[in-house]
Structure 1
Amino acid sequence: MDKISKEIARITYNALDEKKAEDIKVIEIGDITIIADYFIIANGTNSSQVQALVDNVQQVLAKHGYEPKRIEGVRSASWILLDYGDVVVHIFSKEDRLFYDLERIWRDGKVVEREQLEV
């Protein structure tokens, strides 16, 4: 995984944590797919928090010069995807996270702990 995607993952993790996202998971998937290097999965407790998480991730990454290539699901506020190329951020409502269970689907990836993201 390259240094830039690791930096984006670290900044994203911290931005989610700052707004009290629940159960932040970083999954390294670069060895099993060409989609991305990392999936970051988190959830909020309600639609307002989900939106606050999305806004904070975008603002903090923009300050570091990173803009999303694509954003999906903003209107629903139950599963929002922020595509930063090699890092894809999934921010869910609690119910949708359980329903879609991306951690199970991507279980062949390697879960990365916060400390491992420090450059």
Structure 2
Amino acid sequence: MTESAEMAQWAAFAADEKKAREVRILDIRGISGVTDYFVICSGTSGTHVRAIADHVEKQLTERGLKIDHVEGYRNGKWVLLDFGDLVIHVMQEDERAFYNLERLWGDAVEVAVRTPAAG
């Protein structure tokens, strides 16, 4: 498993720890030159979205990843965490339904979310 694949699992796990809804990992290697994986999940409010984003960022930076860019944190409707080879989208449910990233990236392979290896 590549480092970005393993970090996608850690991001999904961290989101789940904060009770994110519908956590998905999309492998977009080969269909995007921008990143390798998307982790997409939903929160129930701006506060919940920010809490999920904070926890995911903390967990990944503790594992040595450097965040390149954060967008949308202030309004909390859609927070994007860009780690280069891994991009995490934490969205309120209505935003997620409207933008439907899973459909937009329909050629992506959905990766099963599993508990990542300790370490």
| Structure 2 counterpart of 1:107 | 106
3-state secondary structure, aligned to 1:114: coil
Cα displacement (A) at 1:118: 4.7
Structure 2, unaligned runs of 5 or more: none
Distance 2:4 2:77 in 1: 25
TM-score (norm 2): 0.92
Counting only pairs closer than 5 Å after superposition, residues 51-70 of structure 1 correspond to structure 2 as 51-70=50-69
Paired letter, 1:92:
M
Structure 1 runs of 4+ aligned residues shifted over 6 Å read: none
Task: Give the helix-richer structure, 1 or 2.
Answer: 1
Distance 1:16 1:79 in 2: 14
- Measured on the aligned residues, the alpha-carbon RMSD in Å equals 1.4
Cα displacement (A) at 1:11: 0.9
C-alpha change, 1:50 and 1:68, in structure 2 (3 Å) is same
TM-score (norm 1): 0.92
| Structure 1 counterpart of 2:93 | 94
3-state secondary structure, aligned to 1:15: helix
Aligned pairs, number? 117
| Structure 2 counterpart of 1:10 | 9
